[in-house]
Amino acid sequence: MPRYKLVNGERIQLTAEEEAARDAEEQAWADGAAARALADLRAKRNRLLAETDYLALSDNTLSDDMKTYRQELRDFPDGKDTVEKCKNATWPTKP
């Protein structure tokens, strides 16, 4: 089915070249979905780690629970290679 663009109110059919370019754009966006989801997951993981960074200062002793929690956060992105895995992941509970 042909696609149309709107330019200043005028409806114009895409050329074959524009159709191909649009297909490529859409495919690239779809292909990047898992990477985008993982990037967001990592960003949240980093925020959660940063929240407890002060507990890991050299003049402090980390509790075992906190050590485990922070390690689980560091490992959290492992194996999350699909959008579904990223979305459905259960985050570690902060002690």
Partner 1 sequence: MSIVKLNNRSVKDVTAFGSITSLGSLTHIATQTASSSASISFTSGIDSTYKEYIFYFVNIHPQTDSSSAETALVFQVDTGTNTNYNQTITSTYFRSQHDESASSPALGYRTSGDQAQGTGFQNLAEGQGADNDQSLSGTLHLFDPSNTTFVKHFLSNVTYSHHGDYTMNAYVGGYVNTTTALTRVQFKMTNGNIDSGQILLFGLN
Residues contributing to the site for partner 1 (CB under 8 A): 3-9, 11, 14, 18, 22, 25-26, 29-30, 33, 36-37, 39-40, 42-44, 83-84
Q: Which is nearer to partner 1, 8 or 58 (CB)?
A: 8
Return the number of the residue (42 or 67) whose C-beta is nearest partner 1. Answer: 42
Residue 36 or residue 94: which is nearer to partner 1 going by CB?
36
Which residue is it, tokens 């370019």? 21
Between the alpha carbon of residue 33 and those of residues 26, 27, 38, 60, the distances in Å are 11, 10, 9, 40
| Torsion over CA: 28, 32, 36, 42 (sign) | negative
Paired tokens of 19: 């159709």
User: CB of residue 55 vs partner 1: minimum separation in angstroms?
Assistant: 23
Residue 11 Cβ vs partner 1, minimum distance, rounded to whole Å: 7
